[in-house]
Amino acid sequence: IQLTQSPSSLSASVGDRVTITCRASQAISNYLAWYQQKPGKAPKLLIYAASTLQSGVPSRFSGSGSGTDFTLTISSLQPEDFATYYCQQFKSYPLTFGGGTKVGIK
């Protein structure tokens, strides 16, 4: 199952609303997770089951979608949110990731 993320990169300002999309090549129900990765660090789980916020993750992060189209939204971008974001499908092996979206500072 191929996952296509868009955009591959974006520039935004602190306080902006940011939306990242992830499209699956076939229906995956809600078997989708989102991760944040900062340079030199391991990925960190943000959202699983498409829309469930992982414990400890700020509420400005939210996820939505089902089937083939999914969205990660950051409601008000904070300085610590500048990072690369990946989606991952959990529907079937081989588990696959999107290509990543790098969120940079405008």
Partner 1 sequence: EVQLVESGGGLVQPGGSLRLSCAASGFTFSSYSMNWVRQAPGKGLEWVSYISSGGSPTYYADSVKGRFTISRDNAKNSLFLQMSSLRAGDTAVYYCAREIPGAWDPWGQGTLVTVSS
Q: Which residues bind partner 1 (CB under 8 A)?
A: 31, 33, 41-45, 48-49, 52, 54, 86, 88, 90, 93-100
> Which CB sits closer to partner 1, 52 or 76?
52
For residue 34, the minimal CB distance to partner 1 (Å) is: 9
Give CA separation, 83 vs 46, 60, 86, 89, in Å: 12, 15, 10, 20
DSSP state letter for 18: E
What's the gap between Cα 7 and its chain centre? Answer: 11
- State the DSSP H helix or E strand holding residue 4, giving kind and residue range, or none if neither: strand 3-6
Nearer to partner 1, 82 or 90 (CB): 90
We find the least distance from the C-beta atom of residue 14 to partner 1, in angstroms, to be 26
Work out how close the CB of 41 gets to partner 1 at its nearest, in angstroms, rounded to a whole number: 8
Shortest CA distance to 27 belongs to which of 47, 6, 46, 50? Answer: 50
Least CB distance from residue 63 to partner 1, whole Å?
11
Complex with partner 1: residue 50 or 74, whichever CB lies closer: 50
Q: What is the largest distance, in Å, between two alpha-carbon atoms of the chain?
A: 38
